[in-house]
């Protein structure tokens, strides 16, 4: 059986992995805020970019199917795991004590990349389960809607994926450290915020999906797919 070659599949996979690594490494170190009707809401800056991973996940599942997206999710998971391990060793490796620059650099690295093992594990597990939930719902809804109403699939799958992600990450990472009310507020705000970004990016998703379907001559339906996440078969 011949394997079909795609021109842009690897590029979308690379973009997916880059977004994940950057949003997990660069964004979480900074908190920002916005105000609505006098109320101030805080958020991690990484939340501005992490939803792009779900956009890429939607595009991959819509065009190439769940099986090929499953491989991409594992690539992204491996990239995030490696970046976490590398960050740990970079932070823990002793710097030259008599060098002022190195001393200041060490402090900065510890502040930005010195996440606890609890936060790292929570992030990896939440991403893994959230992305697979997103792809599964996307693939199933494509069959149910007979390939129509793309917007309902992208928004619906993102809502499910982000809900799974947020309800796993925040309790595992911060239960017992944050007040329960603050924890629930962070979960709800994260879901709403990320789904809103998905909605705003829907026109771009339509363009990318239509172009990829045209260029790749592919519009995959997962009728006979084994949806286990523990496989790299495509």
CATH number for the region 9-216 comes to: 1.10.1760
pTM: 0.90
CB contact at 8 A, 83 and 24 = yes
CB contact at 8 A, 71 and 234 = yes
* Mean pLDDT, rounded, for 106-114: 80
HSE-up of 148 (CA within 13 Å, CB side)? 3
Distance from CA of residue 79 to its chain's centroid?
12
162 is written with which tokens?
């982000």
What's the chain's length in residues?
Answer: 234
pLDDT digits (tens, 9 = 90+) for 28-60: 656 677 788 888 777 667 777 888 899 999 999
More confident residue, 187 or 214: 214
Domain layout of the chain by residue ranges: 9-216
Residue 1 has pLDDT above 50, yes or no: no
CB contact at 8 A, 141 and 156 = yes
* Mean pLDDT, rounded, for 166-181: 89
Mean pLDDT of all residues in the chain? 89
* Mean pLDDT, rounded, for 218-223: 96
The reported pLDDT for the residue numbered 125 is 96
* Mean pLDDT, rounded, for 128-154: 97
């Amino acid at each position: 059986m011949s394997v079909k070659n795609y021109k842009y599949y690897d590029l979308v996979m690379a973009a997916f992995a880059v977004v994940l690594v950057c949003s997990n490494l660069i964004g979480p170190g900074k908190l920002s805020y916005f105000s609505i009707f006098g109320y101030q809401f805080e958020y991690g800056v990484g939340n501005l970019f992490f939803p792009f991973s779900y956009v890429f996940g939607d595009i991959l599942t819509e065009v190439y199917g769940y099986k090929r997206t499953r491989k991409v999710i594992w690539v992204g998971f491996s990239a995030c795991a490696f970046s976490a391990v590398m960050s740990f060793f970079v932070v823990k490796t002793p710097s030259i004590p008599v060098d002022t620059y190195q001393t200041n650099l060490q402090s900065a690295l510890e502040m930005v990349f010195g996440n606890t093992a609890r936060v790292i594990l929570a992030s990896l597990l939440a991403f893994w389960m959230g992305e697979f939930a997103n792809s599964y719902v996307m693939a199933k809804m494509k069959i149910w809607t007979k390939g129509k109403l793309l917007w309902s699939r992208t928004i619906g799958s993102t809502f499910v994926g982000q809900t799974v992600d947020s309800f796993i990450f925040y309790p595992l990472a911060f239960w017992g450290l944050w007040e329960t009310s603050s924890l629930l507020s962070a979960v709800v705000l994260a879901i709403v915020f990320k789904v809103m970004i998905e909605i705003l990016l829907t026109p771009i998703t339509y363009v990318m999906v239509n172009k990829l379907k045209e260029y790749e001559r592919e519009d995959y339906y997962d009728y006979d797919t084994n949806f286990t996440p523990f496989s790299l078969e495509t």
